[in-house]
Structure 1
Amino acid sequence: MTRESSGQKQPSRDNNPLPNLVTIVGRGVPSSYEITVDGEIEMLEADHREEATIISGGTAERSIDVGVQRFRFSGLMANVRLVDWNGVEAPDSLSTPTVNIEYGAAER
């Protein structure tokens, strides 16, 4: 049985090939992160060759101490690894960056 439409259009994910957003926020302490998605990933607001290393289209890694770094991506978040300057991984370290993931985020 198919459900009939109410006449409202559903948002199309085809309009934006990278519909999701991940935001990394530094806490004032040098830390590193690695994020992996099962689709494609692209850094916003910077030249990724200078700001981040993107490996195989689906993995980004970088260091951060202060500020905000954003990436748009397709698919689902597969893995997030956060390590502080002493090599202590999250959640055992309170110094690692904060990570916020928004699926279907509007472009800013």
Structure 2
Amino acid sequence: MARENPVRSQTDTTTDDRLPNLITIVGRGVPSMFEIAVDGELEMLGDDPAEDATVVSQKVAEGTIDVGVRRFRFSGRMANVTVVDWNGVPAPDSPSTPTIHIDYDVPDR
């Protein structure tokens, strides 16, 4: 899936005004899959999504994570979050699925 918007660096100061909200996905050391959807715009912060096996379209991101953190800025509200572990067991039934943090009106640092 092609990305309609460029990935922006955390040093881009214009992102804060357009995309005031933040999603943080934290891996728990077990390969897992995630999908997030918003009703506004969505952009991955920092790294190259291709390196992280993350597909980002204008309103949806999906990918994998085992350790580390993936961050996304977005406008609007969350529409959907789906996380499953490597066996396909969804949260909250699996303690291995990543932790998702959603913060609204967070300044870009």
TM-score by length of 2: 0.82
Task: Return 5+ residue gaps in structure 2 as ranges.
Answer: 1-15
Q: CA RMSD in A?
A: 1.0
Kindly provide the amino acid, as one letter, of the partner of residue 33 in structure 1: F
The count of residues paired between Structure 1 and Structure 2 equals: 93
- Provide the rounded CA distance (Å) in 2 between the counterparts of 1:107 and 1:84: 30
> 1:58 aligns to what?
59
Identity, in percent, stands at 62
Give structure 1 regions of 4+ aligned residues with deviation exceeding 2 angstroms: 48-51
Task: Return 5+ residue gaps in structure 1 as ranges.
Answer: 1-14
- Provide the rounded CA distance (Å) in 1 between the counterparts of 2:51 and 2:68: 16
Q: How do 1:35-54 and structure 2 match up within 5 A?
A: 35-51=36-52, 52-54=54-56
Which has the larger Rg?
1
Kindly provide the amino acid, as one letter, of the partner of residue 103 in structure 1: Y
> 2:32 aligns to what?
31
Kindly provide the amino acid, as one letter, of the partner of residue 64 in structure 2: S
> 2:108 aligns to what?
107
Offset at residue 26 of structure 1 (A): 0.1
